Structure 1
Amino acid sequence: MEAQRLSDAAQRTLSAWHQLIQRGSMEGLEPLLAENVVFRSPVAHTPYAGKAALKLILSTVNTVFGNFRYHREFVDTDGRSVVLEFSAEVDGKSLKGIDMLRFDEHGAIEEFEVMVRPMSGLQALGGQMGARLASAQAVLTGKPDPA
């Protein structure tokens, strides 16, 4: 079986993504995202849609994860999808996970899905994210607060 590689446009975006992670900042994330980007969380049933929600989620998780590190990447045969294996710590709990990214024809991220294990790490992540994002439901759902 022949090793696959990402399209040039997707590879540019992935390289920029790795630079953001290396800097520990999501500043510069927006140009990497498709207008109708969708995020699927490991702790929420309903996907989050739009750049504002994804920027908020990724900026927040960037402050929750400790010792975050990517280990391996796997490219799909379509040249537009990649799986990135990572490890991190949350509240003293070690976790492993994957980021599954799908790029559009221009190389922008159109889908971002995360899976995490074990349950203890997932629960720690969910607790921290829930606490930090509790007041941001309007951004996450794209609906104004009913205040």
Structure 2
Amino acid sequence: MTTANEALTEASLPPALRRWHEVVVSRDPLVLHDLLHHDVVFHSPVVHTPQIGRAICFQYLMGAMTVLNTNQFKYLREIVGQREALLEFATEIEGIQINGIDLISWDCNHQITDFKVMLRPLKAVNLVHMKMGEMLQKMFRHG
């Protein structure tokens, strides 16, 4: 297991994690779509049931990138294993500091199979819940 304290270079990251970082920077929907396993499971911090399947997970992650991935978004720490990683992030929306974790697992084909997001504090969870609801409604309305 590698931690952020042990100089991780982009080249030393597992391919799935390297591609995830590419998606976060580029917001490229094609790269994200290809990165997700067809049976990927998404665990939202505000939806009590796991969301199963590439299509719904894709919608949630694209929405989250629009809501959370502001110019202040940054990963603070990464704990990386052979087939999973924990990425701590921070961002700010409407003056509210948001701290969260992406827990990502992938298969031997370097496709994401499980994606869990956890957020704090409660004020941030409530704000993200509202913003994601608005974003997803907009996305589903426009196809």
Q: TM-score, normalised by structure 2?
A: 0.82
Question: How much does 1:3 deviate?
Answer: 4.2
Q: Does 1:95 align with 2:90?
A: no
Aligned residue identity for 1:74: I
After superposition, what is the alpha-carbon deviation per residue over 1:110-138, rounded to whole angstroms, capped at 9, x for unaligned?
0000000011111100011112223649x
Q: Gaps spanning 5+ residues in structure 1: where?
A: 140-147
2:31 is matched with which residue: 28, 34, 39? 28
After superposition, what is the alpha-carbon deviation per residue over 1:38-87, rounded to whole angstroms, capped at 9, x for unaligned?
000011100111111111111111111222111111024xx111100101
Matched residues in 1 for 2:38 and 2:27: separation?
Answer: 23
Indicate the residue corresponding to 1:142 in structure 2.
none
Matched residues in 1 for 2:42 and 2:95: separation?
Answer: 26
Q: Residue 44 of structure 1 aligns to a residue in which SS?
A: coil
Question: How much does 1:104 deviate?
Answer: 1.1
Listed as ranges, the matches of 1:1-147 within 5 Å are: 3=2, 11-65=14-68, 66=70, 67-76=72-81, 79-134=82-137, 136=140
Aligned residue identity for 2:52: A
After superposition, what is the alpha-carbon deviation per residue over 1:14-48, rounded to whole angstroms, capped at 9, x for unaligned?
11110111124434111111110000001110011
Q: Gaps spanning 5+ residues in structure 2: where?
A: none
Q: TM-score, normalised by structure 1?
A: 0.80
Q: Tell me the number of residue pairs that the alignment of Structure 1 and Structure 2 aligns.
A: 132
Q: Which has the larger radius of gyration?
A: 1
Q: Is the 8 A contact 1:81 1:102 kept in 2?
A: yes
Matched residues in 1 for 2:126 and 2:111: separation?
Answer: 30
Q: 1:120 to 1:114 in 2, by over 3 A?
A: same
Superposed CA RMSD in Å reads 2.4
Matched residues in 2 for 1:85 and 1:54: separation?
Answer: 20
Matched residues in 1 for 2:27 and 2:108: separation?
Answer: 27
* Worse-superposed segment, 39-48 or 126-135: 126-135
Q: 1:90 to 1:35 in 2, by over 3 A?
A: same
Question: How much does 1:90 deviate?
Answer: 2.3
Higher relative contact order (CA 8 A, sep 6+): 1
Matched residues in 2 for 1:114 and 1:58: separation?
Answer: 10
